[in-house]
Structure 1
Amino acid sequence: MKLQFNKHELVKAMSLFQRVASNKTSSNLPGSIYISTKDNYVELQANDFEIGMRSQVDATILEPGTIVVGSKYFQEILKKLPGEQVELYKPDNSNQLQIKSDHSEFKLVTMQVEDFSLVEQIQDDNSIMIDGEQLKQLIDLTVYATSTDTDRPIFCGTLVEIEGNELTMVGTDTHRMAVKKVTLDAALENPMRIVIPKRTVEEVSRVLPSDQPVMVKLIWNRNQVAIVFDTVYIISRLIEGTYPDYKRVIPAKFDASAILNRREFASSLDRVYFMAKDMSYSAIRYDWEENQVTLSSQSADIGMVKDIVLCTFEGNPFTINFNGKYIDELLKHSTGERIHMYLQEQGAMVIRQDNNDHYTYVVTPVHTHN
């Protein structure tokens, strides 16, 4: 096999596989990348127990062939090469890949091609098209709320639900929940509910291009989902189990409501959360009253902090505690001028944004002895 690449194009193509190919729990060849010539391009693949990824890169194919090499050293070598062009050459009677650029030369030991599990293609009997920017927003506004507790795997993924032409994505760790809805261009005949692992959707968000529009095809069956755009094909297992009815978690009645300037609230929370991080449950106390809310946190071992934010408040004054992390992460994923809070004196709070009517965040209170 003998190939010639533009170095920057090859480095860019390899960056897509950075996390999948570096996974040490790879199903067959740990941390490996599959490189194979096709008619007029080179195909790259990486695969592990959870995610498989396939893409392609332009190349001058002098001699066709297929190899598998360790991803870590291959990617590092590419980044360090001095020239604009890269040549890969593996003689038929050798197990070493020669990598050349200008006056630099490396050799990497190759792996057995037969031991690599190729990224499979699933039937596209069930599929929808969605705008790439829309999908990225769906992921970014929900995945941060998913759980990392593997003892409850159903919450370690994001729910994707489609009814008609409405797609909903949900992330929850049972203490807070983020729900984002979008309208698709075409309606789906039969309703769909699947749970995609957190790591998969994070990878999809990472590799989706942000500098150009792209349409994404979402394909699924009972056990797998595929995400396809441009020359990229990502396949992942689905999480088994029944996802709870998220609609029942969203309160319908409230005791009070408040409207806060987003930037002022975020600034105040930052000051208080800084002190609350190392306290029990990162609890921040909210004292609601007419025209203002007082955020505070205190500990006998650390100290005390108090900060006042002006707001529009409707309801009777009351006090409630929330985990600072859950509100902080929401604000980092918020835009718009104002934050709308719908409050219960003893229950969950619902937060919505000025410019994002179809985004709902629910967070449960923290019960402390203070």
Structure 2
Amino acid sequence: MKLTILKNELNDAIQQVAKAASARPAIPILGGIKIDVTHQGVTLTASDTDISIQSFIPVEREDLVIATVDKPGSVVLPAKFFVEIVKKLPSDNIEIEVSQHYQTLLRSGSTDIQMVGLDPEEFPVLPSIEQSELLQMPGDLLKAMIRQTVLAASTSEQTPILTGVLWNLQEGQLKFVATDRHRLASRLAHVETAEDYRFNNVVIAAKTLVELSKLVPDQNGLVDIVVADNQVLFKIGNVLFYSRILDGTYPDTSKIIPQVYKTELVLDTKNLTDAIDRAYLMSREEKTNIVRLVTLDDGTIEISSSSTELGRVTEGLEAKQFTGDPLRIAFNSKYMLDVLKVIDSEQIMIGFTGAMSPIIIKPTDHAYSMYVILPYRTTG
């Protein structure tokens, strides 16, 4: 194998696929990036078996010659070193040549680097996915839905299914749900798809979705999504991102969400965020994160937290709207802040059905997202 390629093009593609290379591989090949060179272009692939990312660099793009291929071939190079060294090579062009036993030479300017390559035949084969039915959605919508739900996914491997985000699609409505049993986030969106195309109980690891989100460009391109039996494929331009679907059945969360409230508050999102942020500083010192919310007779609300060593923070807030019973409730301020920071609405509605019932948080601008936080039982 022998080719010359533009450094910036190779570097961009390596940065994309390296996210899937295993940092602590069980076998060395999983810590590598596979390079396949043909006269059409260069394909880079990395996989830790849970996720696989593939990026294609064509030899030409709009009259720009990106790569000159002298001899097609394949090799696997150690991702960690390859990623770092390509960034630091001195010239705009890099020559890559593979000789016997996968010994690989990188040449750039006056720099020569010898690398020990691995046999590409040992690299895992990417899943074969039937692409007859697919779902298309704008990249910025996908990123928003991920950002607004992953915060509620569990980080405990004791219940692996809850470390993921549940995807359900029916009648053109795509719904994401995540919960760690203490809080829940859900986000709904209308998407373009065949009228009868549907799926349910597709659960993708939250950490995988965070990595996917980094690959989706901010400008509003379309992402193609193909769901198979145990894999989901995302197509983002020249990049293919494969993710394993988590095993198991996601719990039915619909039963915990109340439909009517004893108390409803409408509050300014920024004012509430700032007030809870200040109260959180004190509660964090106590390592409890507990903040209390009390409705007062004059229609205002009081937010407070205390520390035996530091003292007390008390915040007064005007409610935009207050209906129902008076309320005293305690909750995890970190959970509440996580929600407030991803809500894209100037005002929010908070619904309560009692001091020990779930707290419901919804934006007032639209009905696409909804959050649930379980309260704390406290004395006093």
Q: Verify the 8 A CA contact 2:18 2:46 in the aligned structure 1.
A: no
Q: Identity over the aligned pairs, expressed in percent?
A: 29
Equivalence for 2:252: 245
Shift of residue 222, structure 1, vs aligned partner: 2.5
Counting only pairs closer than 5 Å after superposition, residues 164-313 of structure 1 correspond to structure 2 as 164-189=171-196, 191-193=198-200, 194-210=202-218, 212-289=219-296, 290-312=298-320, 313=322
C-alpha offsets along residues 90-119 of structure 1, whole Å, 9 cap, x if unaligned?
22x253221122222222111122221132
Query: Who is 2:329 aligned against?
Result: 320
Residue of structure 2 in register with 1:47 after alignment: 47
Give 1:68 deviation, angstroms: 0.3
Are 1:335 and 2:344 matched, yes or no?
yes
Instruction: Please report the TM-score for the alignment, with normalisation by the length of structure 1.
Output: 0.94
Structure 1 counterpart of 2:107, from 81, 100, 103: 100
C-alpha separation between the residues in 2 aligned to 1:196 and 1:26?
A: 22
Aligned equivalents of 2:98 and 2:194: distance in 1? 50
- Name the amino acid aligned to 1:202: V
2:54 partner amino acid: R
**1:306 and 1:61 mapped to 2: Cα distance?**
68
Aligned to 1:87: 95
Deviation at 1:53, TM superposition (A): 1.3
What amino acid is aligned across from residue 358 of structure 1 in structure 2?
Y
Distance 1:329 1:259 in 2: 18
TM-score by length of 2: 0.91
Residue range with higher mean Cα deviation, 170-179 or 247-256: 247-256
Gaps of 5+ in 1: none
Q: Look up the equivalent residue of 1:314 and give its one-letter code.
A: T
2:361 corresponds to 1:351: yes
Structure 1 residue runs of 4 or more that deviate by more than 4 Å after TM superposition: none
Aligned to 1:366: 376
Question: CA contact under 8 A between 2:39 and 2:72: conserved in structure 1?
Answer: no
Note the aligned Cα RMSD (angstroms).
1.8
Check whether the contact 2:263–2:327 (CA below 8 A) recurs between aligned residues. no
Checking the alignment, whether the CA contact within 8 Å between 2:22 and 2:47 is kept in structure 1 is: no
- Cα distance between partner residues in 2 of 1:39 and 1:80: 27
What runs of 5+ residues in structure 2 fail to find an aligned partner? 59-66
CA distance in 2 between counterparts of 1:251 and 1:120 reads 41
How many equivalent pairs are there?
368
